[in-house]
Amino acid sequence: MPKRAILMCSCSFACPSMVNLNFPTFIERVRLEIPHDYMVVHPRLCETNGEALMEDLLKKDGITYITAACKIEKQAKLLRDGFQRAGVPMNEKTWKPVSIQFKTTEQAFEDVKKAVEEVGE
Ligand code: SF4
């Protein structure tokens, strides 16, 4: 099984589409209740310092990044530079995106849980 790393993007804790998401509760539940290798929470992964983090952090082999952020199509565009800077291709082995927009805390938690479990199958 690949390592499972959760990259959480909080969209500066200010995105109107995440208003029903209680981030402190969500993050802590993910940390405690979903088996994974590690998680990182960043306020804006698609901006320069988020991309710099990804460049330093992301590895090519033996790990899948579960990204919890905006719409999947949007993530594909907005996180592309970060993956590219790290030299990691965005494919089904390396990347498992989850949209946490327009979700309640419970829905977002369940969707991240499902994604992490699917990586482990
Ligand atoms: S990647 Fe998506 S969720 Fe994260 S800051 Fe950018 S727009 Fe917001």
Mutation to probe ligand 1, out of 7, 15, 42, 90 (largest number of atoms < 8 A from CB): 15
Q: pTM to 2 decimals?
A: 0.96
Domain definitions of the chain by residue range: 25-30+62-121
| C-alpha triplet 98, 104, 105: angle, nearest 5° | 80
pLDDT more than 90, % of the chain: 98
- pLDDT (tens digit, 9 = 90+) per residue, 66-118? 999 999 999 999 999 999 999 999 999 999 999 999 999 999 999 999 999 99
Assess contact for 64 and 95: CB atoms under 8 A: yes
- For ligand 1, the distance from its centroid to the CA atom of residue 28, given in whole angstroms, is 20
Looking only at the bridges linking them, the beta strands covering 63-69 and 95-99 are parallel
Q: Classify burial at 32, counting beta carbons within 10 Å of its beta carbon; exposed 0-12, middle 13-18, buried 19 or more.
A: exposed
Rounded distance, CA 90 to CA 104, Å? Answer: 27
